[in-house]
Amino acid sequence: MTLPIMPAATEFDYSVEDSSSLLARFEQAPNWQERYRQIMLLGKTLPSLADEFRIEAAQVKGCESDAWLYHIERDAKHYFLADSDARIVKGLIGLLLSACHGKQSDEILAFDPSTYFKQLGLEGQLSPSRTNGLHALAKAMIDAVKP
Amino acid sequence: MTHSTSTDTALSDSHSQIRAQFPTLSQMLGDYPLCYLDTAATSQKPQSVLDAMAQYYLNDNANVHRAAHQLSARATSSYEKVRDELQGFINAKRREEIIFTHGTTESINLVAYGLTPQIAAGDLILIDTAAHHANIVPWQELAKRTGAIIKPIPLDKDCRLDRHAYQVLLALKPKVVALCHVSNALGTVNPVVELVQQAKAQGAITLVDGAQAVAHLSLDMAAIDCDFYVFSGHKMYGPTGIGVLYGRFDKLDLLTPLLTGGEMIKRVSFDGTEFGSLPNRLETGTPPISEVIGLGAAIRFLQQHLTPDVQAHEAELLQYLQQQLRALGDVHLYAAHSDNLGAVAFNLGDEHHQDVGILLDQQGVAVRCGHHCAMPLMQSLNLKGCCRASIGIYTNKADIDRFIAALASVKELLL
C-alpha cells in the first residue's frame, strides 16, 4: 500500500485475541444476540484510528459504512490497523485481525475467510452481496501481504 | 387503532386475502418469519403477475409487431393491450402517450437526452432537493452537453419543498422543472398539481418522478397536468425491467430518440433514415415483452385492490408505524409527517444505520439502510444515512409490531 500518510509504527504494536480462543467463545454463544454482543466487545478492544488517518485513500470500498485499513510488514510479519464508523463492522474487522494481525505471509495467504466465518456462525455476513464490506476487507488484508 | 367494527373485520378479511396473493411473504428466515419492510426498494409480486408472465412464455412466446403468424399476433395483442390499460390507469389522453422503458431511470434519461436540442447554454433546470439520483444525474449530463445551469429547489425546515424559494426560482423562468411526487427516502409528498401549475405558468417543461407514488395513489395525468411522468413496474407489484414514460403527445413527439435501431423507424436506407411515429419512435429493439405483460397484471391487481378503503388502511398503518417508533424512544424520525406515503426514515440514537440494519436482519426484518440514492437530501439533513422502513398493500399490523419488537432488541443490544 502506498498512502499519503501512515500512522506511526508503534501504533501497530497491539495484540489481538487468538482466533482459536475466539472460536471457542463464539461456539458457546447461545444466540445471535450473544454473538453480536461479543463482536461489539471485540471491536472495543481494538485501537482507534485518529481522524487524520480516516482518509479516502485508506478506505476499503464496498462498505456502506466507512472503513479504513493500514498495513505494515516488520520482521517478516504483517501488522494491520483498521477502523470503521460502525460498531459491528469494527467488531467484524476484529475477527479478521485475530486471524491475520502479527502473522506471517504464508499463514495469511492460507487463511480461508469463508471457513472461518462459518465456524464463527457468521457465514451470512461474508457474502460479497452484503454491504457490510467484510468480504472487501478480508480481500484487502490478504491482498496486502501478496508479494 | 379504534375499536373493531363489522366494517373493520370485513376490511381485515379482505386484507388477508390480498396478502395471501404474495407467495414470497410466507417464509422463514432462520428462526424468524420474514418481515418485509423494503417495499420502496422493490415490492413483492402477486401470483397473478407471476402467472401472466409464465402464461406468455408457456403459450404465446413470440416477438411483437411482426405479426405474420398467429403466435406473434397473440403476443402483440397482449403487449399492446397493456398500453391501453395504462392509458386508462393513469388517465392519459392518448395511448401513444405511453412509452415502455426499462424503468424510471431510463424514462428520465429518455427525456433528459431527448430535450437536448431544445436546451441552450445558460438555460435553467430546477431540481427538487429530495430527488432520487435518477432524477438528478441525467439532468447534470444534459447541463454538461448544453451549458445549462442546474439549481436545486431547497427544502424548508419540515423537509418539504420550500414554496417561497420555489416562487423565487420560478421567476427566473427555468426551462425545465424536475420534481418527485413522493420522496423515496422520507416518504414526504409534494403537492404536484400546484407545483406543476406554477412551473407551467412560467413556461417550464415539467417532469414528475412518480416511482414512489404509483403503488399508493391513484394517478390522474389530466389532474397533474405535467409534461412528463415516470414510474417503474417493480415498485407497483409488477416485474423488474419495465418502466413507463408518460408524456404529453406534443412534448413527447419533440424528443430526440436516445436509442435508435429497429422498430422505431419508418424507412431505412443508406442515404438516410426516417423515424417512425409515437410510441414506437421511442421504443427501439425488442421490448421486454413478458415484463410488459406482467405489468398489465399488476395494473389489474391495483385496479381491483387499491380501493379508497385500502389506501386509507395503508395511511393508518404508516401513522401507526410512526407512532410506535416514537413510543419506543431514542428513535430519531426524519420528516415523519402524517400525510407521508409508504415510508418512514429513522435512526436509532447515535447508532450507525448499518449496525441497526445488520441486527434487524438477524431477526428477519428487511429494511433499507444507507443514503437511499438521495445524497443531496442526506446532505441537507446533515446525515450520513439512515434506515428506512417502507410498507406496501400487503403490510399488516403484525409486521409493524414484529419490526418494533426487533428494533427494541436492537436497542437493548446497542444502547
Return the DSSP state at B227: S
Q: Is it true that the peptide bond before B279 is cis, omega within 30 degrees of 0?
A: yes
Closest residue in A to B369 (Cα) is A64
One domain for residues B348 and B367: yes
How confident is the prediction for chain A on average, in pLDDT?
Answer: 90
**In the predicted model, what is the mean pLDDT of residues A132-144?**
88
d(CA B25, CA B200): 43
| Residue finishing a domain among B259, B286, B304 | B304
Q: CA dihedral in degrees (A14, A15, A16, A19; nearest 10)? A: 150
Alpha-helix runs per DSSP H in B225-349: 249-253, 289-305, 308-328
* pLDDT band with cut points at 50, 70 and 90 for residue A133: confident
β-strand pairing of B124-128 with B265-269 = unpaired
- CB contacts of A30 in chain B (<8 Å) are none
Whether residues B200 and B86 fall in one domain:
yes
Do B125 and B257 reside in the same domain of the chain?
yes
- CATH number of the domain at B11, please: 3.90.1150.10
Same structural domain for residues B245 and B371? no
B1 falls within a domain: no
Lowest-confidence range among A62-66, A110-114, B119-123, B133-137? Answer: A62-66
The secondary structure of B377-398 as a DSSP string is HHHHTT-S-EEEEE--TT--HH
Tell whether B127 and B211 lie within a shared domain.
yes
Q: Which residues of B touch A87 (CB under 8 A)?
A: 351-352, 355, 414
The answer to whether the predicted template modeling score (pTM) of the entire model surpasses 0.90 is yes
Band of pLDDT at residue A62, cut at 50, 70 and 90: confident
Q: Which residues of chain B have pLDDT under 70?
A: 1-8
With left for phi above 0 and alpha for psi between -120 and 50, is residue B280 left, alpha or beta? Answer: alpha
Percent of chain A with pLDDT over 90: 70
pLDDT value of residue B32: 96
B353 CB neighbours in chain A (<8 A) are: 64
Position A65 scores a pLDDT of: 80
CB A115 within 8 A of CB A42: no
Number of domains in chain B: 2
The CA distance from B409 to the nearest CA of chain A, in Å, is 8
Cβ-based contacts of B358 with chain A (< 8 Å): 36, 88, 125, 132
Q: Are residues B102 and B243 in the same domain?
A: yes
* pLDDT score recorded for residue A2: 75
Residue B141 within any structural domain of the chain:
yes
> In this predicted complex, what is the ipTM?
0.92
CA distance A76 to chain B (A): 35
pLDDT value for B167:
98
Q: Which of B280, B304, B328 delimits the end of a domain?
A: B304
Contact A65 B414 (CB under 8 A): no
* Residue B103 sits in the same domain as residue B135: yes
Q: What is the CATH number of the domain that holds B175?
A: 3.40.640.10
Cβ atoms of B252 and B29 within 8 Å: the answer is no
* Cβ neighbours of B369 in A, within 8 Å: 64, 131
Q: Report CA B105 to chain centroid distance, whole Å.
A: 10
Domain range for B232 is: 50-304
- Judge if B286 and B314 occupy the same domain: no
What's the pLDDT at B2? Answer: 45
Which of residues B261, B287, B304 is at a domain's end?
Answer: B304
Sorted by where each starts, the structural domains of chain A and their CATH numbers stand as 9-145 (3.90.1010.10)
Residues B157 and B64 in one domain: yes
Cα distance from A82 to chain B (closest Cα, Å)? Answer: 17
Closest residue in B to A131 (Cα–Cα): B354
Active-site residue (options: A63, A89, A96, A141): A63
Q: Domain for residue B123, yes or no? A: yes
Inter-chain CB proximity A65 and B358 less than 8 Å: no
C-alpha torsion sign, points A9, A11, A12, A15? positive
- The pLDDT tens digits of the residues spanning B239-260 come to 999 999 999 999 999 999 999 9
* Beta-carbon pairs below 8 A across chains A and B: 43
B181 & B253 share domain: yes
User: In this complex, do A64 and B385 lie within 8 Å of one another by their Cβ atoms?
Assistant: yes
Cross-chain residue pair A89–B355, CB shorter than 8 Å: yes
pLDDT of residue A3: 85
Q: What was the pLDDT predicted at A128?
A: 72
Q: What is the pLDDT, as a whole number, of residue A126?
A: 76
How far is B287 from B304, CA to CA, in rounded Å? 27
* Contact at CB, A132 and B409, closer than 8 angstroms: no
Q: How far is B32 from chain A (nearest CA, A)?
A: 12
**Residue in A36, A85, A125 closest to B413 by CB:** A36
- Which residue from B352, B362, B414 is facing A32, i.e. has the nearest CB? B362
Look at the block and give the residue holding cell 433546470. Answer: B125
| Per-residue pLDDT at B1 | 44
Per-residue pLDDT at B130: 96
